[in-house]
Structure 1
Amino acid sequence: MATTLTDSQKPFSLDPYHVSDVFGFILPAPLTELPPYYQPWMDIAQHVTELIYSHTLRSHILKMPLLNTRFLESHRELRLAHLALSVMTMGYVWQEGENDTVKILPRNLAVPYWKVSQRLGLPPILTHADAVLANWKKRDPHGPFDMENLELLVTLPGGDSVRGFFMVTLLVELAAVPAIKSIPLVINGVQCGDAETVTRALEEISQAMEGMTDALKLMHAYVKPDVFYGIIRIYLSGWKDNSSMPAGLVYEGIQAEPMEYSGGSAAQSSLLHCFDELLGVKHEENCGAFLTRMRNYMPSSHKHLIQDISLQPSLRGFVQQEASELLTAAFQLCVTKLMALRSYHINVVSCFITIPAARARQLRRQGNSSQEETVSRAPTALEETGTGGSGIMSFLKTVRDRTRDVSLPLDNRAMQKSTNGAQPQNTQYTTHQTHLQSNTF
């Protein structure tokens, strides 16, 4: 029987974690400009791609003044500053590819970058929180939140494909919003013993997961695999577990010893971490250690949310204790949808990394380094390793298999009832999109 929370049991809420009811983990309305004092940063950050192609980015950065970060006051100013400094850093390091990297990030870039990173609790490297969550604006402020009306604030080499990669990933984050909003309902329902509320919330979450998979499918329409593998990936790569930069990178003016940071990774998104903690998914030692380390690449408030979800009473244990067919079916449907999302991610990785990597190896064996073959320009150090430094396919398959381990047995009738049951509002990807069209951000 359902009970009410006692005075000592405060309802779980997303409010302390800077999670938006409309945008989830996405930064609402990112700034497009910094205060005039920081214009030297923006002048370079907004032209990184052209400067890389002309092989002059490094020389422009070396001429840049060393600016004080104390005039950055708001969170949005800090996020835009971190984004601008991040794309400059990635361009500076990788301007000449994997065979002519640098050992030192110059003081005029490294010092302010470090200080901004410290204030945000982010590392001094391009992260998912930068390139995706804080790197967007609407072309028409009153128009829909969709591919045709979104553009990047700053970009990297890769043309339309780099825009597509970041924007599709942004839409996956958006599709997850109904699921993130439902997490407190699940946690509070478990604490109160309210199986009906938990069931409805889990149905919301499973539908949102399906919407995330639908959004991820757009990757094939907006990103060319050879461009992603041959051009984009190196600019998302870090200096940890990367043979191109085995010693890491010295941040001049911070410390004399090199530091190592992982490149961008889908594991830096808070979404699946939240779902794993909610459902009780436990990962193997190596995978779990990598995923835990990736939490240090998230905004600190989002990292704290994941940690606090992990401290709540076990949802899976509650489902087993209640022994309700509908509740068990709703839980199992979430597990199934999460596995489907992870399986589709494996499909995407195969298309955009594994197959192009095989093509690149074939071309190298044939001695064909034609510039017409974009994949032939891909860095050999990465091969089929993720930009975050993981052995990507084995990692993803292991993570998916551990998701299966939390499955609970149920009969087919219960699953059918759950699948055909109540249809929560604003959970489908397209429905949430329609809702956003009427808002101005």
Structure 2
Amino acid sequence: MAAAESDSKSLFSLDSYHVSQELGFILPDPLEELPPYYQPWMDIALRVPELVLSHELRFHINKMPLLSSHFLQKHRELRLAHLALSVMTMGYTWQEGESNTVEKLPQNLAVPYWEVSQRLGLPPILTHADAVLANWRKKDPEGNLELLLSLPGGDSVRGFFMVTLLVELAAVPALRNIPTVINGVRCGDSEAVARALEEVSQSIQEMTDALKLMHWWKDNPCMPKGLIYDGVQPEPMEYSGGSAAQSSLLHCFDELLGIKHEAKSGAFLTRMRNYMPPAHKQLIQDISLQPSLKSFVHQQDSERLNRAFQHCVTKLLALRNYHINIVSRFITVPAARARQLRNQSQDSEGEMISRAPTALEERGTGGSGIMIFLKTVRDQTKDAFLPETSKEMKHHS
């Protein structure tokens, strides 16, 4: 009885992890404006795409006043400031394409960016937490969404970020059910765990459906030494760019379902956790410390529970397969075509193509060898199946 009482007092909950019941990892109601003192930042951040196009962004940022970050008090102010400084940094670095990147960020951008990043526990680079989780507003009373700040690339860039936001939204029911699964395992309630896993698998299916609507300087050969943040430290620093691997969602599902990744892909995924808000990173860590769901399912004599667990793994596998499909369609194939055109063409079109990031031919936006990485992670997801299904899957693959 004492153990049961102790368990009930320490029920697992999402309350302390900055996870919204309605929006999951998405930041609720992001601010659209900073205090007036920071208007010089917002004036430029809102114009990044057009200023990159006219090759004037670096000029405007170099003239920007050096502002103190101390007047940013609330969490949402810091998140908008980080987003604005991130978008400016990406534009400043890549204004002339990969053939003419910069080696140093000016002090008036680097110092406040570093300070804001330190206060949030995020790195000073555009992350998934910026570009997706804190970069939205309601466009109209019907609830249609649009981005607060954008990058060069027009509708394709906006579409990429908006679809990613919709995937995060589709995952909310799954996130809400994770505590139910954990608490059900703790107290041996196989029916509660089965019901919750059925909700999780349905939500993962909706993530895949949302996905169907559809730069960096660590591991980047154009910037082998990284980037100097002037006024922060004299040596260059290296950070990976925004990547789907920085979304906390799949990390949570992997830990819940007991999916283990081999050394290389596992190390990359672990490194990506340093690009998440600290509370979200902590949630993933705490899920990993809970009693094993897979062992619990294996020990119970419940066909419904067994089926619900297998269904979750199946849906997660399908999501990862679809992600491979998307990466092939939008990165690998176009990059190969661009390489072919570069080899054939000596005219201005070839020159323009040469400014496209050639590293994307082999690597994803986070700097991983993308197709090998994604297929490895997909194959390791199969290992989470319970023994009988695992044999069937290997037989069919």
Deviation of 1:371 after TM superposition, in Å, equals: 3.8
- Mapped partners of 1:240, 1:5: distance in 2: 49
In the superposition, the TM-score normalised over structure 2's length comes to 0.95
Kindly indicate whether residue 53 of structure 2 is the aligned counterpart of residue 58 of structure 1: no
Query: What letter is aligned with 2:375?
Result: K
Corresponding residue number in structure 2 for 1:174: 169
Corresponding residue number in structure 1 for 2:196: 201
SS state at 2:367 partner:
coil
Query: What letter is aligned with 2:241?
Result: G
Q: Which runs of 5+ in 1 are unaligned?
A: 220-236, 412-441
8 Å CA contact 2:98–2:356 kept in 1: the answer is no
Kindly indicate whether residue 45 of structure 2 is the aligned counterpart of residue 45 of structure 1: yes
Match of 1:279 among 257, 280, 287: 257
8 Å CA contact 1:83–1:131 kept in 2: the answer is yes
8 Å CA contact 1:370–1:376 kept in 2: the answer is no
Kindly indicate whether residue 361 of structure 2 is the aligned counterpart of residue 408 of structure 1: no
Kindly indicate whether residue 299 of structure 2 is the aligned counterpart of residue 300 of structure 1: no
Corresponding residue number in structure 2 for 1:76: 76
- Mapped partners of 2:110, 2:354: distance in 1: 32
- Mapped partners of 1:7, 1:317: distance in 2: 19
Deviation of 1:372 after TM superposition, in Å, equals: 9.5
Match of 2:359 among 357, 378, 381: 381
- Mapped partners of 1:6, 1:287: distance in 2: 38
Corresponding residue number in structure 2 for 1:134: 134
8 Å CA contact 2:97–2:355 kept in 1: the answer is no
8 Å CA contact 1:238–1:262 kept in 2: the answer is yes
- Mapped partners of 1:31, 1:371: distance in 2: 41
Corresponding residue number in structure 1 for 2:392: none
Deviation of 1:365 after TM superposition, in Å, equals: 2.1
- Mapped partners of 1:329, 1:246: distance in 2: 48
Match of 1:243 among 188, 199, 221: 221
Deviation of 1:323 after TM superposition, in Å, equals: 3.0
Match of 1:329 among 307, 331, 336: 307
Judged with a 3 Å threshold, the aligned counterparts in structure 2 of structure 1 residues 57 and 373 are, in CA distance, closer, same or farther, namely: closer
Deviation of 1:410 after TM superposition, in Å, equals: 5.3
In the superposition, the TM-score normalised over structure 1's length comes to 0.85
Kindly indicate whether residue 30 of structure 2 is the aligned counterpart of residue 30 of structure 1: yes
Corresponding residue number in structure 2 for 1:430: none
- Mapped partners of 2:354, 2:62: distance in 1: 31
SS state at 2:99 partner:
coil
8 Å CA contact 1:86–1:124 kept in 2: the answer is yes
Judged with a 3 Å threshold, the aligned counterparts in structure 2 of structure 1 residues 74 and 159 are, in CA distance, closer, same or farther, namely: same
Query: What letter is aligned with 2:249?
Result: L
Corresponding residue number in structure 2 for 1:232: none
- Mapped partners of 1:254, 1:121: distance in 2: 16
Identity of aligned residues (%): 74
Judged with a 3 Å threshold, the aligned counterparts in structure 2 of structure 1 residues 151 and 194 are, in CA distance, closer, same or farther, namely: same
Deviation of 1:324 after TM superposition, in Å, equals: 1.6
Deviation of 1:6 after TM superposition, in Å, equals: 2.0
Q: Which one scores higher on RCO, CA 8 angstroms, separation ≥ 6?
A: 1
- Mapped partners of 1:317, 1:87: distance in 2: 45
Corresponding residue number in structure 2 for 1:143: 142
**What is the aligned residue count?**
387
Corresponding residue number in structure 2 for 1:160: 155
Deviation of 1:239 after TM superposition, in Å, equals: 1.4
- Mapped partners of 2:172, 2:350: distance in 1: 41
8 Å CA contact 2:7–2:187 kept in 1: the answer is no
Deviation of 1:95 after TM superposition, in Å, equals: 0.3
| RMSD, aligned CA | 1.6
Q: Which runs of 5+ in 2 are unaligned?
A: 390-397
- Mapped partners of 1:89, 1:97: distance in 2: 14
Kindly indicate whether residue 10 of structure 2 is the aligned counterpart of residue 17 of structure 1: no
- Mapped partners of 2:26, 2:357: distance in 1: 31
Deviations along 1:193-223, one digit per CA (max 9) or x if unpaired, are 000000000000000000000000000xxxx
Query: What letter is aligned with 1:246?
Result: P
Judged with a 3 Å threshold, the aligned counterparts in structure 2 of structure 1 residues 373 and 329 are, in CA distance, closer, same or farther, namely: farther
Deviation of 1:14 after TM superposition, in Å, equals: 0.1
